[in-house]
């Protein structure tokens, strides 16, 4: 662990999530966008206009993740994005670890024009699993399993897989409790949504460039909500 930043109700760690997360104790929800299992080849005639596929490969975002970072003894619920190829094993792991779970989806209005002998990835899946007392929150309109919105461009934060605000705001609305941990924080999208939802946030990111971006984004979110210590809520 090389650096810790505290910004309002957010605590951000620069380091390895597999080392740090087990030391942090209990959170009401772990919300993570971990490395997927992806093919980063293909793209056909559109490939030259899709440099983020190269960035996904180069930064290890297509290598998958160790499911054991999700520990039902350390969180009441978990929300985890995953690729189609990760779904069977991740669902099996969560089914054996939590009381119930649901398969949800972000339906992209601007999907990548690639298929790689598969289907166009216009649906990005996430699983919401919970133990008793941490079931999804919200009214009927909040509890729909599909959210529709456009993708963010990678140039926004120089990161190829930044989740849109509409997606993360919905997830944080559905997550029970007051404390959230994101072990794969990236540029801080979960943290921004957590601050807007009035929750305490802890994030972990190993890439110093993305960590600095997350610090700036979360500081802006804290300032906009007036949540710095000594300011009115």
What DSSP assignment string belongs to 163-192?
A: PPHHHHHHHHHHS-SSEEEETT-TTSHHHH
pLDDT at residue 88, as a whole number: 95
**CATH fit for domain 3-225, picks 3.40.50.150, 3.50.50.60, 3.40.50.300, 3.40.50.2300:** 3.40.50.150
Q: Give 26-52 pLDDT, tens digit per residue.
A: 999 999 999 886 555 555 555 555 566
> Could you tell me which residue, 190 or 232, shows the higher pLDDT?
190
pLDDT at residue 53, as a whole number: 63
Q: What are phi and psi of 104, to 5 degrees?
A: -120, 175
pLDDT at residue 233, as a whole number: 37
Whether 105 shows a pLDDT value over 60: the answer reads: yes
Mean pLDDT score, 49-56 = 60
Confidence of residue 227 (pLDDT cuts 50, 70, 90): low
> Could you tell me which residue, 211 or 38, shows the higher pLDDT?
211
Any alpha helices (H) in the chain, and if so which ranges?
17-20, 52-58, 87-95, 165-174, 189-196, 208-225
Any alpha helices (H) in 38-157, and if so which ranges?
52-58, 87-95
**What value does the mean pLDDT of the chain take?**
88
The token pair that represents 230 in the structure block? 């000594």
């Amino acid at each position: 662990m090389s650096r810790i930043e505290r910004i309002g109700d957010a605590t951000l760690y620069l380091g390895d999530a597999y080392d740090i997360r087990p030391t942090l104790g209990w959170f009401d929800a772990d919300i993570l966008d971990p490395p997927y299992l992806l093919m980063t080849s293909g793209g056909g005639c559109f490939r030259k206009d899709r440099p983020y596929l190269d960035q996904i490969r180069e930064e290890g975002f297509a290598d998958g993740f160790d499911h054991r970072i999700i520990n039902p003894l350390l969180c009441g619920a978990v929300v985890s994005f995953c690729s189609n190829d990760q779904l069977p094993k991740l669902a099996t792991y969560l089914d054996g670890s939590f009381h119930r779970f649901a398969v949800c989806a972000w339906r992209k209005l601007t999907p990548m024009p690639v298929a790689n002998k598969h289907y166009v990835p216009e649906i990005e899946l996430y699983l919401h699993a919970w133990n008793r007392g941490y079931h999804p929150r919200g009214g009927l309109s909040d509890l729909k399993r599909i959210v529709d919105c456009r993708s963010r461009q990678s140039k926004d934060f120089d990161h190829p897989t930044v989740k849109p605000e509409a997606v993360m705001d919905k997830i944080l609305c559905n997550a029970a409790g007051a404390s959230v941990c994101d072990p794969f924080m990236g540029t801080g999208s979960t943290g921004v949504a957590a601050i807007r939802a009035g929750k305490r946030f802890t994030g972990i990111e190993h890439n110093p460039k993305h960590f600095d971006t997350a610090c700036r984004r979360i500081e802006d979110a804290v300032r906009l909500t007036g949540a710095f210590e000594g300011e009115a809520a």
